[in-house]
Amino acid sequence: MSKLTLNGVTFTSQPNETVLDTLLRENIQIPNGCRQGICQSCLMRSVDVPPPVSAQVGLNQTQQKQNYFHACVCYPEQDMMLALLESEQTIFITARVIQKQLLTVDIVRVIVECDTNLTFFAGQFVNLLRDDGLTRSYSIANRPQADNRLEFHIRRLPNGQFSNWVHDELVVGSTLTLSEPKGSCHYLSGSEAQPLLLIGTGSGLAPLCGIISDALEQSHSGDIHLFHGSRHHEGLYLVDEMRELAIKHANFYYTPCLSGDNVIADTVQGRAHDVALSTIENLKGWRVYLCGHPDMVNHSKRLAYLKGASIKDIYADAFHVISPDTK
Amino acid sequence: MSEVQETTAAASLFDQLGGAAAVEAAVDIFYRKVLEDYRINRFFDHSDMEAQAAKQKAFLTMAFGGPNNYTGKDMREAHAKFVKMGLNDSHFDAVMEHLIATLVELSVPPALIAQVDALAESTRTDILGK
């Protein structure tokens, strides 16, 4: 039971309650989205004491030093004085849908054009907002160019309020509101010779596509290995594009993996991360990108580290599913 | 006499070891050894790796004599559930073994290793809830 003070008012947290839970229970309006410490919608700052380390995972070092934390995963360990981020720090962008195309049975490619100049790194994510405020995070699948366009690969989830809306109702010409791009899972220029390992499952290919095209565009000279996994071959997409890229660039290797029983020609049987991590003997000096199912991401993080990759060289983007009962 | 000694020994242990950069280098080696050790890795199995690495970093910073807000009470509370799982001296010894091996690997002089050893050792009773 800790005391949380916000704007001079003190609230008492109940056992096993996050800071976000406490504030919402007290009817304080706090923007929130994923409730899993990822989307940064509920980011706030502790003015007096350092927040629990576990509530700062995924934030950059500057934010960590400034005591920023995710309210949705912060179980207070002591009394805290809280500050909300000033509203002007949250920048919203309006964008118009200019293309919608089905990539697999349940993944749709949505390309939007923003009405303002956009600075982002390929592989970052934005929060997409529906008019009623429903918010979800999606990775950007393209690299920045002058056209202010963003590409997303959106998978339809059973009972997914947002994804079903995108699939069924969003049309070319519709407008969407976007947060500014966030996240540190992106290509870093400056170490062009470093080998890259990218593992993605399902629509986890999206940020990896962006990172790969950015790396190749910036003449990355180290090897780039992409392992994309799905259960069935219908779930693999952009296969031809990736194969073409591999023919064009001698340092780019593409391995589509199928974890189900039905294996088709030119794919490898097995889960993408199992295949990847058994193919590559030693990851010392590598940079590793992991995107997709949270279990795959967490498991691979550990294995990549044990295979020699440095913690600071492992970038991850876990695609959490928001359960229908969380609003 | 003590005054003179204090001025000549102005460079702290933390500075002599190389400060935050040394912690950064050490945590990568140290935590890998811990996770690879079948005697103790079950205590780390279900934890988020980044959050864990951050905790190891805090621990190493303390053991390196650096700025920290480590308290015995926090240590006790954080490890209480592991003590229930059977955490004991043999596990603490294993962690100490990896800490020393890490420092040897980083070519830290024996005199400094001895100081780190003593600082880390001082957390034993709190971690094991004695």
Residue type, A269: Q
Written in H, E and C, the secondary structure of chain A is CCEEEECCEEEECCCCCCHHHHHHHCCCCCCCCCCCCCCCCCEEEECCCCCCHHHCCCCCHHHHHCCEEEHHHCCCCCCEEEEECCHHHCCEEEEEEEEEEECCCCEEEEEEEECCCCCCCCCCEEEEECCCCCEEEEECCCCCCCCCEEEEEEECCCCCHHHHHHHHCCCCCCEEEEECCECCCCCCCCCCCCCEEEEEEHHHHHHHHHHHHHHHHCCCCCCEEEEEEECCHHHCCCHHHHHHHHHHCCCEEEEEEECCCCCCCCCEECCHHHHHHHHCCCCCCCEEEEEECHHHHHHHHHHHHHCCCCHHHEEEEECCCCCCCCC
Distance of CA A16 to the CA centre of its chain: 27
Using an 8 Å Cβ cutoff, are B122 and B96 in contact?
Answer: no
- The pLDDT, as a whole number, for residue B20 is 81
Q: Is A282 exposed, middle or buried (0-12, 13-18, 19+ CB in 10 A)?
A: exposed
Q: pLDDT averaged over chain A?
A: 89
What does the longest C-alpha to C-alpha distance in chain A come to? 65
Whole-number Å distance between alpha carbons of B77 and B126: 9
- The pLDDT, as a whole number, for residue B120 is 94
Domain B13-127 of CATH type 1.10.490.10: yes
Whole-number Å distance between alpha carbons of B100 and A83: 42
Nearest to A167 by CA among A157, A156, A159, A175: A156
* Closest chain B CA to residue A300: B49
- B125 vs A92: which has the higher pLDDT: B125
When mean pLDDT is compared across A202-216, A231-245, B31-45, the lowest value belongs to B31-45
Domains belonging to chain A, first-starting first, are 3-88 (3.10.20.30), 90-179 (2.40.30.10), 196-318 (3.40.50.80)
Name, in order, each residue with C-beta under 8 angstroms of B47's C-beta and a sequence gap of 6 or more.
none
Check if A194 contacts B (Cβ < 8 Å).
no
Name, in order, each residue with C-beta under 8 angstroms of A101's C-beta and a sequence gap of 6 or more.
A108, A109
**How do residues A268-280 score in pLDDT, each as one tens digit?**
999 999 999 999 9
Neighbour order of strands in the sheet with A149-155: A135-139, A125-129, A175-179, A92-102, A107-114, A149-155
- Give the mutation candidate from A46, A49, A53 for the B interface (greatest B CB count, under 10 A): A53
Handedness of CA B115, B117, B123, B129 (dihedral sign): negative
Phi and psi at A39, nearest 5°, equal -75, -15
* Closest chain A CA to residue B77: A77
Check if B25 contacts A (Cβ < 8 Å).
no
Pair of tokens at residue B130 = 């004695």
What's the ipTM?
A: 0.80
**How do residues A6-62 score in pLDDT, each as one tens digit?**
888 899 999 889 999 999 999 888 888 778 887 788 889 898 888 988 888 877 766
Q: Does the structure show a pLDDT above 90 at A97?
A: yes
Phi and psi at B128, nearest 5°, equal -90, 5
Give residue A322's pLDDT band: very low, low, confident or very high (50, 70, 90): low
Q: Does the structure show a pLDDT above 70 at B16?
A: yes
Give residue A289's pLDDT band: very low, low, confident or very high (50, 70, 90): very high
The rounded percent of chain B whose pLDDT value lies above 90 is: 56
Q: Does the structure show a pLDDT above 80 at B45?
A: no
- A36 vs B108: which has the higher pLDDT: B108
Give contacts of B 47-66 with A, CB under 8 A: 48-51, 53-55, 58
Neighbour order of strands in the sheet with A80-84: A9-12, A3-6, A80-84, A43-46, A68-70
Q: Does the structure show a pLDDT above 60 at A293?
A: yes
Check if A302 contacts B (Cβ < 8 Å).
yes
Check if B2 contacts A (Cβ < 8 Å).
no
